[in-house]
Amino acid sequence: MQIVLQRVKGASVCVNKQIVGSIDAGFLLLVGIENTDTAQIIEKNARKIANFRVFEDEQGKMNLSILQSGGAILSVSQFTLCANMDKGNRPGFDQAALPEAAIPLFDLFNEHLKSFGIKVETGTFGAHMEVTLVNDGPVTFIINHK
């Protein structure tokens, strides 16, 4: 599982010029599901993100989780994060899970996030999406927690 986490002041995702998900302050997650991912890996990553302390406290120090800050999550599937770029100039996607495996795991990931009481919006799996965001900081992390 590959995740790009961005702390945002706001983010939205459009499909066919229609907004399908949007949030104010919180996290934009770009989520790549790999063919070796399991329900256990999905749950670990959701728990890690829910408790990840990157929001500022009263002293301006990154010390609060999204649970403590009251933020929301915009979770967008992005299989290109699973690209193998070791050879040549064209990425290979053999490490990305096929849709029949990826969709249930992506849904499970978002359900785990919701189980913490976090508002979660999503894009549309497999669609061509336009993502707009205002990165706060910028604060961006790559999560590869197995």
In CATH, what number is assigned to the domain containing residue 12? 3.50.80.10
Please give the tally of structural domains in the chain: 1
3-state SS class at 117: coil
By annotation, the residues acting in catalysis are 78-80
125 burial via Cβ count (<10 Å: 0-12, 13-18, 19+): middle
Domain of 112, in residue numbers = 2-143
Q: What is the pLDDT along the chain (146 residues), one digit of tens a residue?
A: 999 999 999 999 999 999 999 999 999 999 999 999 999 999 999 999 999 999 999 999 999 999 999 999 999 999 999 998 888 899 989 999 999 999 999 999 999 999 999 999 999 999 999 999 999 999 999 998 67
Alpha-carbon distance of 116 to 135, in angstroms, equals 23
